[in-house]
Chain A
């Protein structure tokens, strides 16, 4: 069932091109350029070389022995946190920057929430000699200072966005406005499997390398495919990246984990598939967190990469069809998993990825004691250096309250 969009860029009813007319010609050009270059041998060779010699691929598939022992199933971690820059984001930005360069666009713009996509874009733009401007909500700038500074060091200009909720969705709005204005020389580099066609397809294809490597590595290590693959879901790029290669392997359970924030019942969360309804935002028909009129709701997660009211259309489609199962994890549970992975395995995960770690530990406990070892692969999509301030703040507050 390898899902491909149809000629209108739709996965079932999801996806499409709900873009302002001024962008439509550019979107058509992008689609044509992507179709040409993705099949071009020279382009592939150049990208593969960057991925291996610059990004550090393939990344390791690590057997988390201590985590496995404490939870009762075998847990492997796909170490995307080891990609240059500290997250899977570079896989996509290298691909798209290379595409932009081949298309003759000299200026790259991008939005960022956690700052990881911004950093990855700034890196790819630097190495390929392109100009780079990043839009970021002021709320996110405040909680991701480290990444803001990294982007600046990498030569990118960071444009603060002070409208709306001052987070990722508003940074996307502002990027689209810049794109609309400078469409002739500017390439808009979307960081997740969201937006108008062909972005969801293109980003998934550039991230697909995660699943391809995982498949080979797990068979090497265990002689079989995993029982379960777990990934966190904000827009869905790391999830689609690892899931896609396994879609046709019906026995492999695929689970996406959304941000339950302060708890689903509080309404302060980012669980667009679990709690959302169908609608159109940022160029795509997908699952959205919205009110009855269709106004987009404010989302919340302490992991800025999951703080988004929509999700990639292909993932919405796969979840609705039942192929991908969805779950959610609160801030509190995530923080616990963050501490466990740090102290038991010596790996500080990104708060986004720690959502998946929590779900994996719980899943491992549920499946422990089955006849053969239950085999779980978690996509550890990023490392947690960027989150240490957030975590310190949360822990600090609690100390005052006497929790820790």
Chain B
């Protein structure tokens, strides 16, 4: 299923998308598969699986620490695709930094995404200006390049981004890096409004808008879903994994139960939002 189809399907059920992010290989490749399964049981619609990079400039300390721990536990690009391919029953998107895509070769990376059932790519350090080669590599494949719009994005840039966007648009809710925040940014509502106005003036179907950064609580998800098509939660999961993932299988079981329950509580807020 393409990402846009997924959003359509959800819409038909009067639901918005709940998108959950975890870093592959944190704390281990094996644990990632189990955690993903718990999220799927909890009802996650789209799983954003991070391929860790040594220098994640758009991420806050929580995800940076997870990336470091994953890499030192042996995560690499080959293993990532193996882990990703093993996760079934959910839409998957890959979040990583451009250098990792570049080193594998753009065509090869997209091919490997497709083979692993990954239908979207989010690259925080690849702005629209530099995206042409990867867009070309994505053409003809079932993998969309997901673009980002931030509160600082000008209307001119938005227009350019919306022209090239496919899958969904990742709307960054605030100025800053990923990480938990106590309250939802006030910038969300006007930003979504601005994008929607621009979309209305164009003669094509509206692209789904999912909001991320600083979203960690059920009430954040509900507030986001009142205006957008989906909510993205990342650091809150990572933090939970970091705090609870002990070396014992018993610890792992408690964590998985908690992840599933947390996912369920967040997914619940995406239903019947109108």
Contact = CB atoms under 8 A, between A and B. Distances in A.
Binding between chains A and B: yes
Interface of A: 8, 16-26, 163-164, 169-170, 173, 176-177, 180-184, 278-283, 288, 290, 292-296
A318 B55 CA distance: 26
A24 B53 CA distance: 21
B121 to A, nearest CB: 15
A31 to B, nearest CB: 12
A22 B172 contact: yes
Contact of B130 (A18, A181, A282): A18
A8 B127 CA distance: 12
A292 B208 CA distance: 35
Contact of B175 (A181, A278, A282): A181
Nearest to B124: A20
B125 A20 contact: yes
B148 A181 contact: no
27 contacts: A16-B129, A19-B125, A20-B148, A21-B127, A21-B149, A21-B153, A21-B161, A24-B157, A25-B153, A25-B157, A26-B152, A164-B54, A164-B55, A164-B68, A173-B55, A173-B64, A177-B177, A180-B57, A184-B152, A184-B175, A278-B102, A283-B125, A290-B103, A292-B103, A293-B100, A296-B55, A296-B99
B interface bracket (residues with beta carbon within 8 Å of A): 35 or more
Nearest to A16: B130
B98 A280 contact: yes
Contacts of B164: none
A163 B77 contact: no
B126 interface: yes
Contacts of A18: 98, 125-127, 130
Given A290-B103, A296-B54, A22 B98 contact: no
Contacts of A25: 152-154, 157
Given A22-B152, A295-B54, 9 more contacts: A20-B58, A20-B150, A21-B157, A22-B151, A23-B152, A24-B127, A25-B154, A163-B65, A279-B99
A1 B70 CA distance: 46
**By CB atoms of chain B within 10 A, which of A169, A176, A280 has the most?**
A280
Contact of A279 (B102, B126, B175): B102
B110 to A, nearest CB: 15
B53 A295 contact: yes
Which 3 A-B pairs give the minimum distances between C-beta atoms? A294-B103, A22-B150, A181-B176
A400 B237 CA distance: 52
Nearest to A18: B125
A180 B99 contact: no
Contacts of A173: 55-57, 64
A175 to B, nearest CB: 9
Contacts of B104: 293-294
A278 B103 CA distance: 9
Contacts of B153: 21-22, 24-25
Contact of A177 (B60, B129, B150): B60
